[in-house]
Structures are given as structure tokens and as C-alpha cells.
Amino acid sequence: MSKKVLITGGAGFIGSHVIRLFVNTYPDYQIINLDNLTYAGNLLNLKDVENKNNYRFIKGDITDVTFIEELFQSERPDSIIHLAAESHVDRSIANPLAFAQTNIIGTIVLLNAFKNLWSENWDEKLFYHVSTDEVYGSLGSEGLFVESTSYSPNSPYSASKASSDHFVRAYGETYNLPYVISNCSNNYGPYQFPEKLIPLFINNIIQQKPLPVYGDGNFIRDWLYVLDHAIAIEMIFHHGKKQETYNIGGFNEWKNIDLVQLLCKQMDIKLNRSPGNSEQLITYIKDRPGHDLRYAIDATKINLELGWSPSVTFEDGLSNTIDWYLKHEDWLHKVTSGDYLNFYAKQYH
Ligand code: NAD
Ligand code: TYD
């Protein structure tokens, strides 16, 4: 059956993979990419699909009420996949208000426009909200986040995402708006902006710049290859139960410092540098305030209900990712000019 799917944040890292998957898999769907092209959004990420008949890009801000209401009334999307967000924890510490504006207000503006458009005529409609495991806060050395874990966000980023999740649920309860939410662990892969750990460190190793490890480097994240996230989103979109949440994760926990050492080893080989060359760049710096110790997802529900599990091993995913960045140094140069240099200077002086 044909659908008109509005995907927000499609020019960003995960959004571009979701757009590519939907455009290539569903020629009968109309896919609209709504993105404001902030520093994190880049149409270069979608060069290979930009001329497809089932794809269109619209530039616009999800916090602009008039624009969004008019867009919804004219385009009449039956489904939304909402990824647009401010997404970097360190930026949220420097500027929390921008995160409240985009992540909370922007989500409410979209929910409201969707409600106003369909006036509770909800047949075959869906609002899919893409969220993060960071809403659950920090784990100690034991345990995993499950869908019923209570929210306990610690950063302005995770607090803003938690708030947006609550609003989505509240629209479901109050107006019967059909929704699904997924909360995913840390993603990595091609097209990730080089402010997040893995692409930042790849870029710095290429340039032989210091690798700024926060605190003692013993923080733990659960890493998932971005394509596996996009596949999970596609499965939840079509087969997920309405008004439910799904956790998505890689069952792949790494201490930051172990991951950085692995990255250094792989890059020395790929760059024909002598063993140990990149590790010398590791520099321990002041810890991030409110730094969550450990995230780890229990992805049993999506596995049992929808048959999803990660398809890419971490070793292969990391190797593909490094190869992609080495082959796309032009992309790295383009996205790391201008504003990036100011951000970098402020963040790491
Ligand atoms: P990203 O920062 O790479 O991309 C965000 C996109 O949103 C950009 O294209 C940007 O231009 C757009 N955008 C920002 N503000 C906007 C606005 N006001 N109006 C319209 N567009 C706007 O983020 P990402 O890493 O691709 O994350 C996408 C979503 O997935 C986010 O909601 C994030 O919270 C969630 N998520 C990310 C991860 C991760 O590891 N990156 C993990 C779990 C969940
Ligand atoms: P990040 O990629 O920012 O994702 P998140 O904070 O959303 O998990 O960071 C991943 C981990 O790497 C986190 O524990 C913080 C750490 N980190 C550093 O040690 N140095 C850095 O320069 C960055 C960006 C992150």
C-alpha cells in the first residue's frame, strides 16, 4: 500500500540512512525529507537518492508553528518518522535552551500539526518518534535498560529527549494519536558528524591531532552500526505495536578507552603507520560534567516480537566506518570548515 511518509532530520547522520533505506526499498511510497540543515545536516549525505521519483527535500524548521501547520495541511502526510533533533551532549551542556527549543518544542509542534490535520481520524496513521537510551540515565556495572526502566536523564540533551518522549505518549493517551517510540544506543557509521567519539577520533588520527579522552576513559557505551538502526526503524514502522516503545541496541558494550585503542590499532594498519603510532595521540582531559557511566540496552523485545537483531559485527562495522571516512576526506573537509572550527576551539581549547 502506498504511503506518504514525512521524515524529519533526514539530512543528518541516522536520518540519511533511514531515507536511503525507505527510498530504495519502497518505490511506491512518497518520502519527504524535512530538515533545517543545521551544522549537522548536509544534503551531500543523500546525493545518491536526490533524483529518485519517490523522494523530495523540503527545507524548514520544526519549531516554526505556522510553517509546519501549513506544510502538514498542504502535504497531508499519513506517517511521520521524527528524527530531527539537536543531538550532541557536549553542545547541550554549552547551550541547553537550543535543545529545549528543537527537541521539546519542535516535537510538540509536529504532534500538534499531525493532530490538527487528521482530527482524530487515525486509520493507517502513525507518528514514529526516534529517541535515545540516554533518557534512562546511567547504569552501574550491572543490569540493562529495558522498556519499563524509569526515566532518569542527566544531561540537557537526554532531559530534552525524555521530555519529548513524554509528550508523544501524552498525545497518545489524550488524543489517541497513534505512535511508536524507539530508544536506541550509540550509533556509529558513515556520515556521522565528527563531533561524536568515533568520527572525531578518526578525523584526528588522520590529522595526527590529540585524541581527547574524557576523565579516566572507563565510561561504557553500547555501540550499534547505523544501518542496523535504520533496519530496526523500518521494521518497527511497519510491524511495531502502536502506543509501545522498543529498545534497540547492539549487545556490544565497550569501555571508551578500549574502543579508542582498537580504533588506533585499526587505523595504524590502514594508514600504514607503525604500530603504536596513533595511541601516542591519546590525551586524557577534564571529564564531561554529569558524564553517564554506562549505557547498555536489552533488545529482547524487538528481537522476540519483530525478529530484529544486529547484522553487522563491531569489528566489521568499525572497519567499514574507517574505510568510509578514509575514502571521503572531501566530505570531512567540507563539514569541518567554518563553524566546526569555533566549536572545536571552545570545546577542547
Ligand atoms: P544529527 O545531529 O546527525 O542530525 C539531526 C538532523 O536534524 C540534522 O540534519 C539537522 O539539520 C536536523 N535538525 C536539527 N534541528 C532542526 C530543526 N529545528 N528543524 C528541522 N531540522 C532540524 O543526529 P543523529 O545522530 O542522526 O540523530 C537523529 C535522531 O536519533 C535524534 O533524534 C537523536 O536523538 C536520535 N538518536 C541518535 C543516536 C546517535 O547515536 N546518534 C542514538 C539514539 C538516538
Ligand atoms: P559521544 O559520541 O558524545 O556520545 P554520548 O555522549 O551521546 O554517549 O560520546 C561517547 C563517549 O565518548 C562518552 O562516554 C563521552 C566520550 N567522549 C570522549 O571521551 N571524548 C570526546 O571528545 C567525545 C566527543 C566523547
Pocket of ligand 2 (CB under 6 A): 89, 186, 196-197, 200, 212-214, 219, 221, 256, 288
Say whether pLDDT at 134 is over 80. yes
**CA torsion angle 143 144 145 150 (round to 10):** -10
Which of 214, 218, 336, when mutated, tests ligand 2's pocket best, judged by the most ligand atoms within 8 Å of its CB?
214
Rg (alpha carbons) of the chain, rounded to whole number: 20
Task: Give tens-digit pLDDT for 193-234.
Answer: 999 999 999 999 999 999 999 999 999 999 999 999 999 999
> pLDDT of 19-65, one tens digit each?
999 999 999 999 999 999 999 999 999 999 999 999 999 999 999 99
Per-residue model confidence (pLDDT) at position 349: 79
| Known active-site residue 64 | no
pLDDT at 183: 98
**Which CATH code fits 3-188+223-248?**
3.40.50.720
Mean pLDDT of the chain: 97
What pLDDT score was predicted for residue 43? 95
Ligand 1 pocket: which of 13, 221, 227 to mutate (most atoms within 8 A of CB): 13
Each residue of 283-311: pLDDT tens digit?
999 999 999 999 999 999 999 999 999 99
Quick one: pLDDT at residue 120?
Answer: 81
Which set of grid coordinates corresponds to residue 44?
A: 551531500
The pLDDT assigned to 16 comes to: 98
pLDDT bracket for residue 325 (50, 70, 90): very high
- Catalytic status, residue 325: no
**Can you tell me the distance from the alpha carbon of 198 to that of 21, in angstroms, rounded to the nearest whole number?**
23
What average pLDDT score do residues 63-88 get?
Answer: 98
The answer to whether 208 and 281 have CB atoms below 8 angstroms apart is yes
Asked if residue 191 has pLDDT above 80, the reply is: yes
Query: What is the pLDDT confidence band of residue 1, given thresholds at 50, 70 and 90?
Result: confident
Of the candidates 136, 157, 179, 188, the residue annotated as catalytic is 157
Is 157 in the active site?
yes
Listed by start position, the domains of the chain span 3-188+223-248
Please report the pLDDT score of residue 338 as a whole number: 82
Query: Quick one: which atom of ligand 1 is closest to the CA of 10?
Result: 9
- Mean pLDDT for 94-122 is 97
Residue 296: the pLDDT is 98
Query: Residue whose CA is closest, atom 32 of ligand 1?
Result: 83
Give 259: exposed, middle or buried? Use CB within 10 Å, 0-12, 13-18, 19+. buried
- Phi and psi angles of residue 58, each rounded to the nearest 5 degrees, phi first: -125, 125
**pLDDT reported for residue 226:** 98
Q: Which of 133, 195, 222, 292 is catalytic?
A: 133
The best mutation among 83, 110, 136 to test binding of ligand 1, ranked by most ligand atoms within 8 Å of the C-beta, falls on 83
Residue 215: φ, ψ to 5°: 60, -135
Catalytic hit among 35, 78, 134, 165:
134
